[in-house]
Amino acid sequence: MRRAEEVEVAVEAGADLLGFNFWPGTSRYIPPEDAAPLIRAVPSHVSTVGVFVDETPERVLEIAAQTGVSALQFHGSETPEYFDRLGSWRKIKAFKVRNDFEPAELRRYASAYAFLLDGWVAGGLPGGTGRVFDWSHAERAKAYGKIILAGGLNAKNVGEAIRKVEPWGVDVCSGVEIAPGRKTPELIREFIRAAREAEQQLVSSRLESSTPGRQKQPQS
């Protein structure tokens, strides 16, 4: 999120978490002093997430206090020891997934609240690659914690991703943009609508399967 109108649309459409990128190496960067008023305007039922890449723990905590974010997300080479230095903050560790990805690596980050899995691109950005990866890796990773599925998701494929992986959450960036850092209201609405529809389908399916003696009626 970089603009007030993006925040308003995402909240109205039903987003649960809003990200604010504090890594200067991306066109999606927002200075902390600009993010602070946007974050203050976010309703309390929506979480705000500060995104960082190899920032010092001291600076991370300074920005978190300045902006008022409710969670911290890391896309760099941060170690488990680094995470421990951030205390009780809700922390999300991002991993770029290649074919040789080992989900058991997530066990090292015992203090992580959740894990974000993104597509890997050679020499690419730490995040927001827009690259879909083999979702079976995400399915196996669920054994180690809450999984946020990212990587090339958009309104056309997020439903399939949710039904297949059943992640804790889904993340979108390039899939609702017309250019890096330029999100559009309609794409935001379409993405969240598709995600919510898939979520409801999963809930309905679980209810059907858990109801004793319930059978599907033949269609005429």
State the Cα–Cα distance between residues 31 and 67, nearest whole angstrom: 10
**Residue spans of alpha helices (H) in 68-145:** 80-84, 136-141
User: What are the sequence ranges of the domains in the chain?
Assistant: 4-204
Query: pTM for the full model?
Result: 0.90
pLDDT at 155: 97
CATH number of 4-204: 3.20.20.70
What's the one-letter identity of residue 76? G
At which residue do the structure tokens 């196996």 appear?
140
CB 175 within 8 A of CB 154: yes
Can you give the pLDDT of all 220 residues of the chain as single tens digits?
A: 999 999 999 999 999 999 999 999 999 999 999 999 999 999 999 999 999 999 999 999 999 999 999 999 999 999 999 999 999 999 999 999 999 999 999 999 999 999 999 998 765 556 556 689 999 999 999 999 999 999 999 999 999 999 999 999 999 999 999 988 899 999 999 999 999 999 999 988 888 877 766 555 544 3
pLDDT at 220: 39
State the Cα–Cα distance between residues 95 and 118, nearest whole angstrom: 6
Paired tokens of 176: 């609702």
State the Cα–Cα distance between residues 48 and 68, nearest whole angstrom: 8
State the Cα–Cα distance between residues 140 and 166, nearest whole angstrom: 11
